[in-house]
A = this chain, B = another copy of it.
Amino acid sequence: MYERKIPPNLNCGLDLVAEVLYGKWKIRLLWFISEGCKRPSELQRKIPDASRRVLNMQLNELEEHELVSKKVYPVVPPKVEYSLTGFGETLIPVIAVLGQWGDHNEEKLRRVILKRFEN
């Protein structure tokens, strides 16, 4: 496993939030889990652009950060379910605010983001 060489900045609340949400798919994982998609394969279907590997890694981190909890059923084929912890649930309204701002400004955002890709 990769070990960080540079310690994180944990000065203010924003640093702390960044530390747990910084990861390409984390916010979406939390969001879909809050919507009831609990099993890894479901999440993968919802987020097909992410590799299975990365989703697992990010789910592990979310679990380590106590935003989600993981229940493993001892059956074959394996069955795993993720769910939000109480702590994780408090984050959902915050993510909702982010998403609302994004939805509300969709056109403008799309335009400014695509600027650089129209080479």
Binding site for B on A (CB under 8 A): 4, 7-10, 12-20, 22, 24, 27-28, 31, 49, 64-66, 87, 90-91, 94-95, 97-106, 108-110, 112-113, 115-117
Contacts and interface: CB of A to CB of B under 8 A. Distances in A.
Given A7-B117, A65-B112, A101 B17 contact: yes
Contacts of A97: 94, 97
A15 B24 CA distance: 9
Integer count of this chain's copies in the complex:
2
A99 B10 CA distance: 12
A101 to B, nearest CB: 5
A48 to B, nearest CB: 10
B27 A113 contact: no
A18 B27 contact: yes
Contacts of A99: 12-14, 17
A19 B113 contact: yes
Contacts of A22: 22
Nearest to A111: B66
A103 B13 contact: yes
A32 B33 CA distance: 33
A9 to B, nearest CB: 6
